[in-house]
């Protein structure tokens, strides 16, 4: 499904909410858990069909959450704030480090439509042929496809948590007919889940999808409201290049003033102006080396 071509438009304050029974129901069997995850995905699919949703921004923010989860799985201390600093304040020639590489892999995987070429760009350490085999390892319903792809990677490369989760989300997107990978599994799984196999792993994936779909719909509603406000105040911005700057804010989780198409001082003034208008937030709490986001 190509969300960008759909025509579902409406008040961002009225994005449909996940039915309470989807997340409150107590399910123990694989059949019951699969039913709930299917309902959650159906609802998320409906939300993603809205053209007033900043899709690229949603994927980028979910990529940060997925990266944060994967960094925690690896036992490293970096969290969202440190990951943002590592990537968005990276200077030419600098290396992002292990945590930064995880974050960059997720961002690259989510920013382009699902394809072996895009996955190889995110995971260049693996040959395209290997990625294709892993992506097509799953059969059946979408979550089952994702779980089987996850298991296929981890069976061959037990320590490759990040590639496994990226391929699993890609398999899920492909099975659902989504053009883009939406990072959902990593944020809902526990580290111990990655050592499960067979039905136990499928059960964990169904539960992870249900929980993450709920979080994704909440985040989508929040970003839709904030994006609508940013678009409302955009005509008030007089700086040359302000329109391009707004477009950047609508696609990226965090933006450094230096990434905007304006001179340095003008970029900082524009960011401060957008904060004053309530259209973006300053994300670091610092006086220097600031980052801004919707």
Q: Which domain holds residue 205?
A: 29-225
List pLDDT tens digits, range 249-294: 999 999 999 999 999 999 999 999 999 999 999 999 999 999 999 9
**Distance between CA 193 and CA 164 in Å, rounded?**
12
Are the C-beta atoms of residues 154 and 194 closer than 8 Å to each other? Answer: yes
Q: Is position 8 within any domain?
A: no
Are the C-beta atoms of residues 219 and 42 closer than 8 Å to each other? Answer: no
List pLDDT tens digits, range 101-155: 999 999 999 999 999 999 999 999 999 999 999 999 988 999 999 999 999 999 9
pLDDT of residue 18: 83
pLDDT confidence band for 17 (50 / 70 / 90): confident
- Identify whether residues 105 and 198 lie together within a single domain: yes
pLDDT of residue 35: 95
Q: Which of 190, 225, 260 is the last residue of a domain?
A: 225
- Residue located via tokens 């490759």: 160
| Percent over 90 (pLDDT), the chain | 87
What lies within 8 Å, CB to CB, of 17 at 6+ separation is: 217, 221
pLDDT of residue 12: 57
Token output for 5: 């071509």
In the predicted model, what is the mean pLDDT of residues 84-100?
Answer: 95
- The CATH code of the domain that includes 280 is 1.10.10
Query: Is the model's pTM score more than 0.85?
Result: yes
Count CB-CB contacts under 10 A for residue 116: 16
Q: Which of 225, 246, 269 is the last residue of a domain?
A: 225
- Closest Cα partner for 143 from 103, 199, 196? 199
pLDDT of residue 19: 80
In the predicted model, what is the mean pLDDT of residues 6-20?
Answer: 63
pLDDT of residue 10: 55
**Distance between CA 49 and CA 52 in Å, rounded?**
9
- Identify whether residues 170 and 248 lie together within a single domain: no
- Identify whether residues 162 and 134 lie together within a single domain: yes
- Identify whether residues 251 and 128 lie together within a single domain: no
- Identify whether residues 143 and 219 lie together within a single domain: yes
Q: Across the chain, what does the average pLDDT equal?
A: 93
- Identify whether residues 96 and 214 lie together within a single domain: yes
Q: Would you say residue 181 has pLDDT above 50? A: yes
pLDDT of residue 24: 74
- Identify whether residues 36 and 181 lie together within a single domain: yes
Q: Which of 168, 194, 225 is the last residue of a domain?
A: 225
Q: Is position 24 within any domain?
A: no
pLDDT of residue 13: 59
Count CB-CB contacts under 10 A for residue 244: 11
Cα dihedral 284, 251, 228, 10, rounded to 10, equals: -140
Are the C-beta atoms of residues 12 and 225 closer than 8 Å to each other? Answer: yes
- Identify whether residues 119 and 214 lie together within a single domain: yes
- Identify whether residues 212 and 153 lie together within a single domain: yes
Q: Is position 232 within any domain?
A: no
Q: Is position 257 within any domain?
A: yes
pLDDT of residue 20: 83
Token output for 224: 């839709």
Q: Is position 12 within any domain?
A: no
Q: Is position 120 within any domain?
A: yes
- Identify whether residues 44 and 104 lie together within a single domain: yes
Count CB-CB contacts under 10 A for residue 229: 16
Q: Is position 1 within any domain?
A: no
- Identify whether residues 75 and 147 lie together within a single domain: yes
SS (H, E, C) the chain: CCHHHCCECCCHHHCCCCCHHHHHCCCCCHHHHHHHHHHHHHHHHHHHCECCCCHHHHHHHHHHHHHHHHHHHCCCCCCHHHHHHHHHCCCCCCCCHHHHHHHHHHHHHHHCECCHHHHHHHCCCCCHHHHHHHHCCCCCCHHHHHHHHHHHHHHHCCCCHHHHHHHHHHHHHHHHCCCECCCCHHHHCCHHHHHCCHHHHHHHHHHHHHHHHHHHHHHHHHHHHHHHHHHHHHHHCCCCCHHHHHHHHCCCCCECHHHCCCCHHHHHHHHHHHHHCCCCEECCCCCCCCCEEC
List pLDDT tens digits, range 67-81: 999 999 999 999 999
Are the C-beta atoms of residues 52 and 12 closer than 8 Å to each other? Answer: yes
Q: Is position 9 within any domain?
A: no
What total number of domains does the chain contain?
Answer: 2
- Identify whether residues 78 and 138 lie together within a single domain: yes
pLDDT of residue 21: 81
């Amino acid at each position: 499904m190509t969300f960008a071509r759909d025509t579902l438009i409406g008040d961002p304050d009225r994005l449909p909410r996940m039915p309470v029974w989807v997340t409150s129901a107590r399910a123990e069997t694989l059949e019951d858990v699969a039913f709930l995850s299917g309902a959650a995905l159906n609802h998320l699919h409906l939300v993603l069909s809205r053209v007033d949703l900043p899709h690229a921004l949603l994927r980028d923010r979910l990529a940060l959450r997925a990266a944060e989860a994967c960094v925690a799985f690896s036992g490293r201390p970096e969290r969202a704030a440190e990951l943002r600093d590592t990537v968005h304040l990276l200077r030419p020639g600098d290396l992002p480090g292990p945590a930064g590489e995880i974050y960059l892999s997720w961002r690259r995987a989510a920013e382009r439509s699902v394809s072996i070429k895009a996955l190889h760009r995110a995971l260049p350490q693996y040959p395209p042929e290997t990625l294709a085999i892993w992506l097509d390892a799953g059969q059946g319903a979408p979550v089952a496809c994702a779980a089987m792809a996850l298991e296929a990677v981890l069976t061959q490369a037990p320590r490759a948590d990040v590639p496994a989760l990226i391929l699993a989300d890609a398999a899920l997107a492909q099975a659902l007919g989504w053009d883009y990978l939406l990072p959902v599994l990593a944020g809902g799984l526990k580290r111990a889940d990655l050592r499960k196999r067979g039905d136990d792993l499928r059960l964990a994936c169904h539960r992870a999808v249900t929980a993450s779909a709920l979080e994704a719909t909440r985040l989508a509603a929040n970003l839709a409201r904030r994006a609508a406000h940013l678009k409302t105040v955009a005509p008030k911005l007089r700086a040359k290049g302000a329109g391009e700057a707004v477009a950047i804010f609508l696609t990226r989780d965090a933006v450094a003033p230096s990434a905007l198409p304006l001179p340095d001082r003008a970029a900082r003034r524009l960011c401060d102006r957008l904060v004053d208008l309530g259209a973006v937030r300053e994300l670091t709490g610092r006086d220097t080396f600031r980052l801004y986001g919707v």
